[in-house]
Amino acid sequence: SLGSSVTDLLLENFILTAEYTKLYPFVYDHFNPAQSYTNVSYTLGHWIGNNGDQVYISAGYRILRGLALHLSGQYIRKGERGTPEIQQFSPIQPPFLFGDRTSYTIIGAEAKYEITHEMFVRSRYRYMQTTSDIEGMDANSQEFRLAFYYGL
């Protein structure tokens, strides 16, 4: 992983973040289950799992006290997970992003306002596009969330 975050670069209260993460095949898996990086079959490493990479960019701006905006985008590529047999018996490790590939493009926006001390209203929008080498796996989705909460 490689990343950077800069605050107050162009404007006061403006934050710009960029990150790149690359995970090779079998980075969290092992043909010997005792050597896998899991707990109760849940991978403990990065959430995108092995054999994938992610580019993440975000920008946040606090317009005035209590009102903040945040935009983000990420592009994720995933290859096949692979099997323990490939890892154990293959003389060389498979190349990065081997097998059928799936790509995700995710764009998000958030606005948060503090109405009064510790009372917030927040709205979020997210668009996700999925493209895959596997037939019938291409999809688009959108979601909008609105929350009122106190504390936290």
Cβ proximity of 43 and 24 under 8 Å: no
Averaged pLDDT for residues 66-74? 97
Cβ proximity of 2 and 22 under 8 Å: no
Q: Is the pLDDT of residue 89 over 90?
A: no
pLDDT in tens, 118-127: 999 999 999 9
Cβ proximity of 120 and 149 under 8 Å: yes
Averaged pLDDT for residues 72-98? 89
One-letter amino acid of 91: P
Q: What pLDDT is recorded for position 39?
A: 82
Task: Note the Cα 130 to chain centre separation in Å.
Answer: 13
Name the band, by pLDDT with cuts 50, 70 and 90, for residue 86. Answer: confident
Q: What pLDDT is recorded for position 125?
A: 98
Averaged pLDDT for residues 73-83? 92
Q: Is the pLDDT of residue 85 over 90?
A: no
Q: What pLDDT is recorded for position 31?
A: 81
Transcribe the chain into DSSP letters: -EEEEEESSSSTTEEEEEEEEEE-TTSS--SSGGGSSEETTEE-S-TT-SSEEEEEEEEEEEEETTEEEEEEEEEEEE-----HHHHHH-SSPPPTT-SS-EEEEEEEEEEEEEEETTEEEEEEEEEEEEEESSTT--EEEEEEEEEEEE--
pLDDT in tens, 7-65: 998 899 999 999 999 999 888 887 887 777 788 878 788 889 889 999 999 999 999 98
Q: What pLDDT is recorded for position 36?
A: 78
One-letter amino acid of 38: T
Q: What pLDDT is recorded for position 90?
A: 82
Cα–Cα distance, 19 to 94 (Å, whole number): 25
Averaged pLDDT for residues 67-73? 98
Burial of 6 (0-12, 13-18, 19+ CB in 10 A): exposed
